[in-house]
Structures are given as C-alpha cells and as structure tokens.
Amino acid sequence: MQKITFSFILLIGIIGFSQTSDSDFERMVEAEMKSVSSIQNLRVNPNTLNYDVTYHDLRFSVDPNVTNPYINGIVKTTFRALTDIDVVTFDMATELTVSSVTMNSASLTFSQSNYELNINLPTTVTTGNSATVVITYAGSPPQAEGAFTRGTHSGTPVIYTLSEPFGARDWWPCKQDLNDKIDSFDIYITCPDAYIGVSNGLLQSSVTSGGFTTRHFRHNYPIPAYLISLNVTNYTTYNIQAGLGTIDNPFFPINNYLYPESNTASNRSSIDNTVPIMNVFEQKFGPYPYRNEQYGHVQFGWGGGMEHTTMSSMGAWNSRSLIAHELGHQWFGNKITCGTWKDIWLNEGLTEYSAGIVVEELDGDAAFVAWKSGKINNITSQTSGAVYLTNDEATDVNRIFSSRLSYNKGSMVTHMLRWVMGDANFFQALQNYLNAPNLAFGYAVTTDLKSQLETVHGSSLTEFFNDWIYGQGYPTYTVNAQNWGAGQAKITVSQTQSNTSLSFFEMPLEIRLTGAGGLTRDVVVNHTFSGQEFIVPVPFVVTGVTFDPNKHIISRNNVATLANESFDLEQTISVYPNPTTNELHIMMPTTLQLDKVEIYNTLGQLVGQKDAIDFSVAELSAGLHLLKITTSEGIIHKNFIKK
C-alpha cells in the first residue's frame, strides 16, 4: 500500500502520471499507513496465539446516512486450537458493543476490555480440534483512527475501511497479528438499495429486498485481517479484462467501482493502464495470484491507495505509479505478507521497486535511471536509517511506513540485489520466493527472502544484507582514472561512509570511461576495500570518467576525476599482498610480457626465480626481499616483506 499519517492528516493529492513529485509520493504513502496515533504500544497479542483462524462468515449492515451505530455485524469464526483452550480472545475496539455470542446456537458468556473480546467456551477445545463461535455486535468504530471512515463525496455519504497496520479490530472482532492468515471468508454487505457494497474476492450474488441490497463476496485464498475491506456508496462500474487471451494466459476481470462524478473518460483511460502493468508483472513475477477471482479498484476517501487483496482502494487514478504500486502488492504484501512490522520492506520496498520496473519496461532506460536518481536523492537526504526496523521502531506507525526507508531505500536495495545477482538470477529467485511452499500465501521475514536469493545466486549475501538491510547510511566514492599504457586504464576507488554504524560497503561498481568522438566503455569493478586499484582494458585513450552512470548504487557526493600524469612503467606494476606469508601476486598491464622474476635478499643474493605472476614465497626466510621483474618493456624493481 501507500499510506502514512501524522495524527489525522487526510490525503488530497496523487502522484503525477509517470514520475512522482515528493509531496505526491508522501500522500501515496500516507494512504497506506492509516491514521492512527504515531506511537502505538501494539505488539503481538499473547492472548490470541493459542488458535488459528480458518474461516470467517462476515455479515455487515451499514447505512451511510445513519450516524449511530455505523455498523451492525454478525461474525462467525471457525478456529483450530493450537493448545487446549477454555477462553478464546479476539481483538476488538471497546467502542463496539457485543450483544451475544453463541456456539452451536447456545449462548456463551463473554467480557470486553482493553480492546479485547474474551469468550468463555462451554468445554475445553483441545489441541488440533476446531470450534465455531458467532458474535453479534453493533457500534460506531473510532473515527479518529481512520480504519473505518464515514464521509462524503460530492455531498453523497460513503463508508470505507483501511485497516493497515493495526485497525481491523476497530470495526470487527478479529485476530490482527501477523502470525495467522484466514484460510477463506465470505462477506455479506447489506445497505440501502441506493448504494452498493464492495469487498474482496468474487461477487457471488446481489439480492435486493425491502429497500435494501445484500451483496455476497467470497475470497478463497489465505488473507490477513488488515487486508479485508468494506466499501459502501453509490458506486458506478467500469469493467475491463487483463491477460493475454491465450490458453496459458487467459483473460480475467478487472472490475472497477468509481464515484459517479469520477467515472469520466479520462479516469477510464487511466484505469486501462492496469492491463499493460499486469502484463509486465506476470512476465517478471509469475501469474497474478488471484486469477481465479478478479482484480479491481474501488474509490475511497484517502488520497493514495491501499492494496486490499483483489480490490485495491484508490483515491484517484491519474497516477500510473500508484496503479502499479497497488497492483504490485498483490504479489508482495498480499500473496506473501511480512511476518513482522520490522520486515515491512518485504511489502513496501519490493512493491515500490515493481513500480520502477514498470517505468523501465514501458518508458525505457533513461526514464528508469531518472526514477532511481529520485529515490537515491531522497534516501541520502539524511545520513542514517536502516531498512530493517528495531523492536521499538516497529510500534511507530510513522517509522513503519517511512517513505525514505521502507519504500525508497527498500526499493533501491532491491535494485542493488538485482545488480549484484544479474537479471536472470534475480527474477528467478523472486519467483522462487513467491512460490516457495512454506511462504506462498503465508508470511515471510527478511531471512526467508535472503535464503531464496542465495540459493539461486550460489553464494552468501550476508555481507550485502548486513550493509544495506541492517546497516545504516550510505557510501561516498572518490574515483580516479588514469591512462595506463596502451589500451589500459588504472582506476583507484576510495570510500567514506555517512554513518558510523558501518566501516565499509562492499559492492560491484559501474564506471564509465569516455574517449574522443563519443567513445564509451562501461567497466564493473568489485570494490572490497578503500583505495583499491584496478587495471582495466580500454580500446581508446580515456578523456573522461563517470561514476555509476546507470544509478545502481545508493551513494552521494561522489567525485570522479581523470588524472593527467604520463604513463610510467614503474607505476603500472604492483605486488600484493605485501607483507605476505605465502602467496605473492604481480599486477601488471596485459600488454606487457613477463620474461622472468628474480628474488634477492638484502645481501644481494639470488634466492629464487619465477616465471609467472602468481607464485609461492613460503620457502623464503622472513624479512625484506627484492623482486627484479623483467618484462617486454624493461626491468623494474619492487620490494616486499616475507612474514
């Protein structure tokens, strides 16, 4: 989703069509972070950990014209006991009043306090067994928190919900922790027949009787409580199809519910962009996860969007970036949901990067570089901040939905993983992640994604994750290039860090060397320590140097210069490591031919002779030694210390 709030700021704008202004992007983030108090003392509720919700039958009666109660509900919940249970607890706002609870038509006793509903079961439900309770309630959900809102559009009443991260309990008894997905649910929305109700899943029926209409939706995929939505007003519809229309990729519906005043040709044209975006995502990430039901959009009063499963809530449609972001969430956030709020970047960072991929695929490389530049500029506007949250940060809604860290840094770190791994491996790993049996339609934490990436990458990504996910800040690079004999250049790269939490960022770096007449050569060097030197082949005289031309790296204030010193044979050859215990390596231009290497001690005695640039010196005594290196261009001398 894309939302955020500072107390009760309402969103009013939307991002521009391809590129996003800073203020518009913040509004998009605001809509995804519902308006709750900035600091919430909300953690996993220990009283809801002893059962697993398997099914909900949700029946809601709402009338946008009536101010109190806003909602009447009957919630039937089937749960499976994870331990022996005598009391079952649901999260529920104290503003909602329960009138009865039954099991098998028999009344049960219950109590409400501290945002909990505690139900006394008639007998112990033993581990592994299931039970069903039916809760009847009514009330006016707390309006200040924004999870359930009664408002107007063009003078017409509207009701809509947005429960992320902690608001599902504000309008129905549920289990809202990130440890349990509801296997499936049915929802029945009854309202005056001047309005229609909209929710997740596939519409099963619509029945009008006595001036009221009841619409029944069913969703057959696991879903967390915060992704269930309810919307009621005088919607009009605009329905299209997505898919390629082939046997392997058949059409499926995209059903859109708009305020009548918004059902314009311009908005319909914008909504049509969902189709090519869907095609990009299915090619990159695999089939849309809910093809058997639908995708769609429903208009609501926030200015951004919220990725309710199968039916994204939208403030408007004039932003392709917003359409792409909320659609991308159906894979990242909905099919696989972050297992804790500390891992929110798995929802928001991966999803925001999917919106960047749309720019790349539909607008081209130059637009994609501009998109990444905007992200980098925002990320590096402050010198600290990690992608992964601390325990305390995970109770701060404004930090959870930080546009700079969870969205922008999360998205650029995702791109940097692609840069490190290569396109084929990166996208294969993402598809493996989305389809892993232990993750698909469930929850994931950061180490789950890391494991899937490493399996395809074939080597550890621990250093990368320590630097870029768990670490804070960013590097600043100083790059010096120098012509280094015929057909070569020497590149020296140094690095400083913006934050003391890290001493070095290891990354492959792209450096562009340019020559007369528009000649260019992009080289990639693996930077592992500050001051590292690289000799690279270049088939022209270098006249200019540019660092990270395609914006693969989060960095700031970089300096790239071309040295004017003349070529010197002595400078072109170096030996390392120095001092050494065992192996010695001679780095020299590929244009030079090595004839022989002679080793002398400090007495001038010849103690060894080699004919390769890599050799062992283990047999030598400790102390200072002299290398006499004979090449096709002449003789040079280098000292080294044997430890």
H or E element in which residue 23 lies: helix 22-32
Q: Return the DSSP state at 128.
A: T
For 133-164, give the DSSP string.
Answer: EEEEEEE---STT-SEEEEEETTEEEEEE--T
Q: What is the three-class DSSP state of 182?
A: strand
Question: Tens of pLDDT along 195-205?
Answer: 999 999 999 99
**Helix crossing, 274-285 with 345-363: angle to 10°?**
110
Task: Give the span between the Cα atoms of 255 and 295, in whole angstroms.
Answer: 6
> Cβ atoms within 10 A of the Cβ of 40, count?
16
pLDDT of residue 5: 34
pLDDT of residue 587: 84
By 3-state DSSP, what share of the chain in percent is helix, strand and coil, each rounded to 5?
25, 35, 40
Q: Are 405 and 383 in contact (CB under 8 A)?
A: no
For 26-60, give the DSSP string.
Answer: HHHHHHHS-S--SB------GGGTTEEEEEEEEEE
H or E element in which residue 562 lies: strand 559-562
Q: What is the three-class DSSP state of 434?
A: helix
Task: Give the span between the Cα atoms of 1 and 229, in whole angstroms.
Answer: 13
- What are the two backbone dihedrals, phi and then psi, of residue 615, each rounded to the nearest 5 degrees? -160, 165
CA angle 505, 511, 512 (to 5 degrees): 165
Q: Domains in the chain and their CATH numbers?
A: 34-233 (2.60.40.1730), 337-470 (1.10.390.10), 475-567 (2.60.40.1840), 572-642 (2.60.40.10)
- What are the two backbone dihedrals, phi and then psi, of residue 12, each rounded to the nearest 5 degrees? -130, -10
Residue whose entry in the numeric block shows the structure tokens 């914008």: 270
Q: Which residues of the chain have pLDDT under 50?
A: 3-19, 35-41
Q: What is the three-class DSSP state of 225?
A: helix
Task: Give the span between the Cα atoms of 521 and 512, in whole angstroms.
Answer: 6
Task: Give the span between the Cα atoms of 414 and 203, in whole angstroms.
Answer: 36
Task: Give the span between the Cα atoms of 554 and 377, in whole angstroms.
Answer: 9
pLDDT of residue 41: 46
Q: Are 514 and 548 in contact (CB under 8 A)?
A: no
pLDDT of residue 591: 66
Residue 10: closest CA among 26, 260, 157: 26
**Length of the chain counted residue by residue:** 643
pLDDT of residue 213: 98
Q: Provide the b/e sequence for 324-341 (b: ≥16 CB within 10 Å).
A: bbbbbbbbbbbbbbbbbb
H or E element in which residue 192 lies: strand 184-192
